[in-house]
Structure 1
Amino acid sequence: MLPRRHILDVWEFIKDEEDLLSMSTITLAIDAIKYLDMESKKDHLVEALELNEFICYMYPAKRPKNRSLLFHVVSDLLGLLIYGVPKTRKHAIDSIEIVNYSEEGMEVYPVIEVWNDLKGKVYTKKHGPESIIEGFVRKIRVEMDTMERYPFVEDVLLKSLERIKEWLPSLAAYYDRKGKTVKDVYEKWWALWGCGKDPKAILSGMIDRLSSQAAREYNMVIDKENLLNKIDKEKPANKKENEEFSKWYREGVNLLLKI
């Protein structure tokens, strides 16, 4: 899912402001840091699970804040089931979203039970690139509703730029990179999301990136102006999309916490 929704993912279960900021920052970081290696074929969600375990054992003082990485995995798994699995494996930072996923890589983790449970409830077969692009559009709807109805999310996203320092030691150790390198890639990724800008400008930026990705990876042309006006005006549809996602997301996390 997209960054503002991932912050809302944490908020669904964590209401303390300091914990929300800290846990949101690490869940955002796992999306940003996949761009450290543009050619990596490592599964993004398995990497999130491995990072969670690494922090548990090597940086136990950070527990239990790292469990937001589990929230992240549930959210992305649900997004794949509802909105489709992109065929691409290219780590282009100007893409609207990249999720590398292989079910086999998840089998050793309890989270696969969440996948299997939700698959029977929300999965519908997708047909071709058009359905993948439509899935991205629905994710953008979720992002816009999150900004509309949960304005504190923007503040968390803004503050994460400074709060990333809290997680640099564990991230640098896990990825075997310098802390500055990790911080730089986070800042580069963060800048793409237009934090603090007018919502319509943020929407325009996401549609521009989706348009570029659609042309590059699926040879599809998007009517950007029409799509922007449609999403901007259809706030009830955006709300419905977000609320439906929240319903299944909460069910998935609650199931995972019971395993």
Structure 2
Amino acid sequence: MLSLVTLPCLSDNYAYLLHDNETGSTAVVDVPEAAPILSELATRGWQLTEIWLTHHHYDHVDGVADLVAATGAIVRGAVADAHRLPPLTDALAPGESFSFATHDVHVLDAPGHTVGHIAFHVPAARAAFTGDSLMVMGCGRLFEGTPDQMWSSLTTLAKLPDDTNICSGHEYTASNAAFAVTIEPDNVALAARRQDIEEARAQGLPTVPAPLSLERETNPFLRAHLPSVKSGLGMEDATDTEVFAEIRRRKDTF
């Protein structure tokens, strides 16, 4: 059995602890800073064995050196970004899989936010660790990649099982939901979800992770292919990628 813990870091980042209760193995996905992770490990009596990195940005890797020094954990990340990630024990290529305890972990290509971005899908945990590619109610800015790359990444992630929990890297959900309403003002599921998000945040509760099934119903960046979305934007004859790019452009200036 696997246990998943969402850990707030910095001002609005998340790291994730994944713990195998039978073997005692523990992984952390992304390391914005070491202190909250070490504190949580100590509280739970867990020993960190692995670090998984989705991409090279400082707010996802800055605590790696301190965490390795404290725990001796191995570090896994994208081979394409090995030159700008902390030193890797295991350099991974998209399409590969590795074992965590007795569980398969699939490495998915997820460029767009950065060109070397990857995601980790753990079917046994019903979780996908998507960093800043697919984000709850949104997607990452295109700092390095193209709309084609990000749309391809999102469509790949959208094909995961309905009950997959999207474990993304930031608490941006409230602002993402406010933007989503400008794209689909008549989406009933979106209106209900926005209210749930606002209530959760008012209580200081995280809105991440979230089920992929709900993302498909409410996340505008996963819905650029829908005729109703295209019509609402006046882009009935546009390609899916063109519609996605327009939604991303609007979000950048929202």
TM > 0.5 between the two?
no
Structure 2 length-normalised TM? 0.32
Larger helix proportion of the pair: 1
Larger strand proportion of the pair: 2
Structure 1 length-normalised TM? 0.32
Q: Which has the higher contact order (CA 8 A, sep 6+)?
A: 1
